[in-house]
Amino acid sequence: MAYAIEMLHITKDFPGIRANDDITLQVEENTVHALLGENGAGKSTLMSILFGLYQPTSGTIKVNGKEVKISDPNVANDLGIGMVHQHFKLIECFTVTENIILGKEPRTKLGTVDMKKAREKVVELSKRYGLQVDPDAKISNITVGMQQRVEILKMLYRDAKILIFDEPTAVLTPQEITELMQIMQNLVKEGKTILLITHKLKEIKAAAQKCTVLRKGRCIGTIDVKDTSEEKMAEMMVGRVVSFMVDRPEARPGDVYLDVDHLNVKGAKGTLAVKDFSLKIRAGEIVGLAGIDGNGQTELAFALTGMTKIESGTVKFMGEDVTHASIMSHYRHDMCHVPEDRHKHGLILDFTLKENYVVHSYMEEPFSKNGVIKMKAIDEYADRLSEEYDVRSGEGKDTITRSMSGGNQQKAIVAREFDRNSKIMIVVQPTRGLDVGAIELVRKKIVEQRDKGAAVLLISLELDEIMNLSDRIAVIHNGSLSGLVMNKDVTENEIGLMMSGGLSKFDEEAKI
Amino acid sequence: MKKFFKIALVAVLALSLVACSSSETPSTSGDPATTGDTASINIGFVTDTGGIDDKSFNQTSYEGIKRFASENGLVENENFSYLQSSGEEQYIPNLSSFAEEGVDLVAAAGFLFTDAITTVAAQYPDVNFLVIDVAGIEMDNVQTANFAVNEGSYLVGVVAGRKALETGTNHVGMVIGQESESMNGFWAGYQEGVWSVCPDCKISYDNSNSFGDTALGKTLAQKQFEAGASVIFACAGATGNGVIQEAAERRQNGEDVWVIGVDTDQYELGLYGDGTESVILTSMMKRVDTATYNACQQIKDGTFKGGNVDYTLADEGVGLPAENPNLTEEDLAAVAEAEEAIIGGSVTVSTVPQTSADNPLIIG
Amino acid sequence: MTSKKHSTLVVSLIAVILGILVGCVILMVTGRNPLNIFVALIRSLTGFSINNPDRGINMMYPLNWLLSSMPVILTGLSVAFAYRTGLFNIGGEGQYIAGSIACAAVALLIDLPPVIHTIACVIAAALAGALWAFLPGFLKAFRNINEVVICVMMNYIALYFNDWFVRSFLPIDEFTLARTVNFPETVSLGNLGFGTASQFNYGIIFVIIAVIVFWFVMEKTTFGYSLRATGFNSEGSRYAGMKNRRNTVLSMMIAGAFTGVAAAIVLIGNYSYGRIYTGFDNFGFDGISVALVGGANAFGVLASGLLFGLMAASETQFQILGIPSEVSDLIQAAIIIFVAMQYGIRLILDFLDRKTMKDKVKEVA
């Protein structure tokens, strides 16, 4: 079997830190090869070296058996290496075709761009690899999944033989993930080689043949995926035995803390996104809200936290009506909120980590006194939070959060919100973008908060998470409650049906 | 504050030492005061915010200095030069810089210099100052030059009134740049001149409140021409250029409209079409160059005195240009007649204008 | 990727040097002596004339430098304050005129003892500037109307309002009819000219206070913290429960107040009478450049205000040395362009670093 890429004994030093330590990665032709590791394990550095963004301190790189020196990304492109970045690099107001051909436009005799030819080529490529996209749609009008396909087509248009996917599923819905897996298979069938960077074990199981595991800059080993269990891979990645199932003692629910009654909320389009929605959550229990993305979860979370106007119905926090109260007043009624969009809402990206830790509490002592910020108290608090929630960043608490990895950003938000020890917790997608170790930590903390007596509403697109953590499960479909069941009495299949509107089920026991 | 001063002084001294070491080869362009013949005369001119090439006040004043210089063999940037002010707050620094350079005469034009000149002249009693269009400064080293603009405006009023009669509109106009004492002189003289030949003439009057808004000038001209004015007296610096533009466009469309220029002979500014014809009927010239020239001459002769100097029609301080291609023999005869009457004293021109409140002929 | 290791200060200094070099090149091309730029700058900075060393030091020039820096530091703070909250205050001209109207009104219509009267004038000007900035802030916060459009309109409203108000309510100087009578002696910022003709005055105290207030409020208070959060990410700060709308309005008003103080200092210090404007003084617009070059922080604005003040004060020296005053404008413009290009400058610095590192590696090898 020939290797498409060989990175042999790669070591990369940065001032004060060795990011890659004698890593060897051999990728066979015509396979999907996964690169697995926690955030900060050295995956990005290794790929940056392969892509010519960094030069290795020592080690050699071979492409198709020939030793090469990749001095910059153009060299990588010429060698047929293409990268699908986690954050797409597309021009929003251009069409799909325009984005794909940008920088390598076919020309007419007059020297103008030959759009007809370009369009044909794009259509032909998308047919061959099973990547259905509308070549004339504007990027701003297509879904994230489609945008990713455009990124892939960009690589194919440039005749890339080796495609690197950097965390490709982080931004996708479950359906899109399934489709992406299929696309990868098609690509391999057509003679491409794929290097998949991820920390999601399920996807590796589904798509990859071989898997190289990195931990703390070292290569732990390369394994055959079909012979290795997820647990084993997780153990290799984290360095200890990881439990996916959080130990969750029986809930002992108390008074109703969160009372949502006949709620109607309008969405961005002006139509009702949440319809006649009622739900009660008691102290000391976790209610998971399952649903397919875009069925009103976002609007519901905004309505409960005061971030959007409620059309009709009421929301009560511990008996007090907060339906039309300000956001600040929601927090004062002892609520915390892990928001869905960590960049838009969760963080002030240009603030430092410590400044982000106090966005709700900067007005309170000890963080400020008489309107003056007490930086020392904030410093101490930040150190404690980062320690407790394992938030890692380059310059500690003074790191600008924009420069932190997605996983650590998410951990910082979770740390800030959970540390408030609120009575009412609105938690949306708390483990999105986190690696296995961090997921375990966050899930434990959620249960911990429950046991301290909090009423938790967990909104997640990942059914695993809902099934794993919830005491009761509510299902939302098309803005309405389509099911309310006890976790112990329901199967994954039934929930799936309720999510798609094929089943409506309300347990007597689950009603309160 | 004393401490700050000390620190500043130390810093300055330190920097000066550095500066000294690099000053072995002084630049040749030099300061006006110290290079050249020490016996020769040095003159500095400070412009207002309009700049040296405003085709008006500043430019003409400076031309008087240049004329004197060329007659006396003085060299620009050595014996005489100008400083442009980018803002009103630059007046005092500019005036005092010339004074620091030790020039014999610092000249400036415009009533906005009143306070600046007063302040700086008090600071430098040994330097002579000339300021044009300023009244009310009584200092030994400050000469103020004023022009009987009311008399000159009377003459162009006569021309405008005759034109209104000729075209049959019986309507003329005026656009000013800002209400002020000196503007009142223009306005009063113009009124009397117009009504002396055409007692029923209506006069449109607008204050643009700007000397630099060409677009506004165009708009106001549009308004007055639409109201029926056949001649507009544009006393508003660059705003007046808009009046001229509007008139030029209308003339090209066959309308019989005219503009009277101000301060200098603006005939060239009013050329339109193939450049052989101008919308400028005539101009009310203020011989500010005479004022600067005379002051320079007085410095040379040692006769320079503080106090006010009036330049009237009799002194040829105001008047029409020597050449007036758009005026007929009859026009010129009428102007000459009015001129004689004023100089002879049979007509006294007012400096206080009538307002629209007491004269229905004025359309505000 | 560019690193942050090259500080804004270094980048700004390089921009300044490059700007001056551009001026030198222009002078060379037009056949003038480029060294005169430095002669002029040193004269304005120190009062020392390189061409005439025997004249010694003339304090008038450095004092004039400080004098011309005072208003642009304040308007720079104004623009910077709004900018930190994510707002673009291009309404400085209007706030400036509003401030000068209020200053003149308090000076001429109210009798107060010395010092107190002056302080009252400055406070009135600050309040008027704030009031003038209220409307754009309010419309931005509650109606989401672009503040730039409203600000520009407010500039012209102020310009014409000034004419009407001053002529209607304040005593007009009868010699010119184009300004008010002089302020009473109780309104004065004194003179710190140290015997020179400079009008440098105690207004500098207000400037220093303003810089410190800006720094303290923005960097040290909870209010400043929430303003910065709003500026960086208004949705994020809304999520956090901050009062974004109130912050937007207040931030504009505080920005307006800084400009109002600038108006009072110029009016009392340089003119001592109420003005009837026929055009803008441009300090408000200059403030945009000052804030940009100063990186929108208190001490950066102080430094860049001193730089722009130096350029303004040097215009006289430039012209005396035969350099057109436009060259000074050109240098300012070039500096702004280079600061705007700081990303590019950082790239070049990084490149040079890498090159020297490579050379070192070669040496070792």
* Whole-number pLDDT of residue A84: 86
Do residue B81 and residue C320 have CB atoms under 8 angstroms apart?
Answer: yes
The last residue of one of the domains, among A238, A255, A286, is: A238
Output the pLDDT for position A115. 87
Question: Which of C35, C160, C316 lies nearest to residue B97, judging by beta carbons?
Answer: C316
Task: List alpha helices for A273-341, DSSP H.
Answer: 297-305, 327-332
Query: Length of chain A in residues, anyone?
Result: 512
A13 CA: distance to closest CA in chain C (Å): 14
Query: Does residue A272 lie within any of the structural domains?
Result: yes
- Dump strand ranges (E) for chain B: 43-46, 80-83, 105-109, 128-132, 142-147, 171-176, 202-207, 231-235, 258-263, 271-272, 277-278, 280-286, 307-311, 318-319, 362-363
Contact list in C for residue B179 (CB cut-off 8 A) is 167, 177-178
Q: Give me the interface pTM, i.e. the ipTM.
A: 0.81
Query: What 3-state DSSP class applies to B111?
Result: helix
**Closest among B34, B136, B357 to C179, alpha carbons compared:** B136
Q: Which chain C residues have a beta carbon less than 8 Å from that of A360?
A: 240-241
Total of domains in chain A: 3
Residue A167 lies in a domain: yes
Same domain, A364 and A446: no
CB contact under 8 A, B211 and C278: yes
Chains A and B touch (3+ CB pairs under 8 A): no
At residue C87, does pLDDT exceed 60?
A: yes
Q: Is the pLDDT of residue C262 over 50?
A: yes
Residue C360 is predicted with a pLDDT of 55
- Does A85 share its domain with A157? yes
Cα A180 from Cα A177, distance rounded (Å): 5
What is the rounded distance in angstroms from the CA atom of residue C65 to the CA atom of residue B32?
22
End-to-end Cα, chain C, rounded Å: 27
Is residue A341 in some structural domain? no
Q: In the prediction, which pLDDT does C71 show?
A: 97
Indicate whether A145 belongs to any domain. yes
Instruction: Give CA–CA dist B141/B138, Å, rounded.
Output: 9
Using a threshold of 3 CB pairs under 8 A, tell whether chains C and B touch: yes
- Residue A345, domain member (yes or no): no
For B214, other C-beta atoms within 10 Å of its C-beta total 18
Q: Which run of H or E residues covers position B223?
A: helix B214-227
User: What's the pLDDT score for residue B213?
Assistant: 83
- Which of A128-132, A147-151, B3-7, C127-131 shows the highest mean pLDDT? C127-131
Q: Which residues contact A52 (CB under 8 A, 6 or more apart)?
A: A70, A71, A72, A73, A74, A75, A76
* Chain C environment of A355 (Cβ under 8 Å): 225, 229
Read off the pLDDT band of C354 (50, 70, 90).
Answer: low
Residues of chain B contacting residue C276, judged by C-beta atoms under 8 Å apart: 178
Same domain, A253 and A209: no
- Give the end of a domain, one of A205, A238, A271: A238
Tell me which chain B residue has its CA closest to the CA of residue C329: B86
Give yes or no: residues A154 and A199 share one domain.
yes
Strand partners, B179: none
Q: Are residues A464 and A511 in the same domain?
A: yes
Alpha-carbon span A495 to A135, nearest angstrom: 36
**Mean predicted confidence (pLDDT) in B56-67:** 89
Number of H helices, E strands in chain A: 16, 23
A82 and A185 within one domain: yes
Contacts of C14 (CB under 8 A, 6+ apart): C338, C345, C349
Q: Which residue of C has its CA nearest to A417?
A: C240
State pTM to two decimals: 0.78
Contacts with C222 from chain A: Cβ below 8 Å: 362-363, 368, 371-373
Nearest to C247 by CA among C272, C267, C271, C230: C230
Low-confidence residues in chain A, pLDDT < 70: 1, 16, 170-171, 173-174, 243-244
Q: Sorting pLDDT into bands at 50, 70 and 90, what band is C364?
A: very low
C221, C229, C243 ranked by CB distance to A372: nearest: C221
Chains that touch C (3 or more CB pairs under 8 A): A, B
Nearest CA in chain B to C66: B8
In terms of Cβ atoms closer than 10 Å to its own Cβ (0-12, 13-18, 19+), residue A274 is: buried
Task: Choose the weakest-confidence range: A87-96, B303-312, C69-78.
Answer: A87-96
Q: Provide mean pLDDT across the span B263-267.
A: 89
What pLDDT shows up at residue A173? Answer: 67
CA distance A308 to chain C (A): 10
CA proximity to A284, closest of A418, A424, A414 = A424
Contacts of A377 in chain C (CB under 8 A): none
**The pairing of beta strand B280-286 with beta strand A210-215:** unpaired
Q: CB-CB: which of B20, B100, B119 is closest to C60?
A: B100
Same domain, A372 and A452: no
Chains in contact with A, counting 3 or more C-beta pairs less than 8 Å apart as contact: C
Q: What is the domain range of residue A499?
A: 244-334+422-512
CATH number at residue A463: 3.40.50.300
In a shared domain, residues A367 and A316: no
Cα–Cα distance for residue pair A177/A197, rounded to 1 Å? 14
Domain hosting C235: range is 65-305
Residue of B19, B77, B136 lying closest to C42 (CB–CB): B19
Percent of chain B with pLDDT over 70: 89
> Do B280 and B325 contact (CB within 8 A), yes or no?
no
For residue C188, being part of any structural domain is answered with yes
Chain C positions touching B23 (Cβ under 8 A) are: 50-51, 53
Give domain status of residue A136, yes or no: yes
Which residues of B are less than 8 Å from C278 in CB distance? 177-178, 209-212
pLDDT band at B339 (very low <50, low <70, confident <90, very high): very high
C191 touches chain B (CB under 8 A): no
Residue B14 has pLDDT above 60, yes or no: no
Tell me what pLDDT residue A239 has: 82
Other beta carbons within 10 Å of B121:
22
Total beta-carbon pairs less than 8 A apart between chain B and chain C: 148
pLDDT at A171: 65
Q: How far apart are CA C88 and CA C78, in angstroms?
A: 10
Residue C298 domain-assigned (yes or no) = yes
* Shortest CA gap B349–chain C (Å): 19
Sign of CA dihedral A158, A164, A166, A172: positive
Q: What pLDDT shows up at residue A128?
A: 86
**One domain, residues A92 and A172:** yes
- pLDDT recorded at residue C5: 52
At residue B38 the predicted structure's pLDDT band, cuts being 50, 70 and 90, is very low
Alpha-carbon gap: C346 to the closest alpha carbon of chain B (Å): 30
Domain count, chain C: 1
- In this complex, which of C46, C176, C319 lies closest to B84 when CB atoms are compared? C319
C312 and B90: CB-CB below 8 Å? Answer: yes
Give chain B positions within 8 Å (CB) of C42: 15, 19
Judge whether A379 lies within some domain: yes
* Any B CB within 8 A of C276 CB: yes
Domains (ranges, CATH) in chain B? 40-147 (3.40.50.2300), 149-285+319-363 (3.40.50.2300)
Examine the domain organization and report whether A195 and A104 are in the same domain: yes
pLDDT tens for each residue of C167-209: 999 999 877 778 899 999 999 999 888 888 889 999 999 999 9
Q: How far apart are CA A291 and CA A289, in angstroms?
A: 7
Cβ-defined contact of C222 to A344 (cutoff 8 Å): no
Q: Does the distance separating the beta carbons of A372 and C232 come in below 8 Å?
A: no
CB pair distance less than 8 Å for B120 and C197 = yes
Q: Which residues of B touch C43 (CB under 8 A)?
A: none
* Residue from C5, C220, C225, C238 to probe the interface with A (highest A Cβ count within 10 Å): C225
Interchain proximity A344–C233, CB inside 8 Å:
yes
> Which of C156, C162, C123, C122 minimizes the C-alpha distance to C267?
C122
Q: State the pLDDT at residue B27.
A: 37
Q: Are residues A119 and A64 in the same domain?
A: yes
Chain B residue at shortest CA distance from C195: B123
Give the chain C residue nearest B208 (alpha carbons).
C278
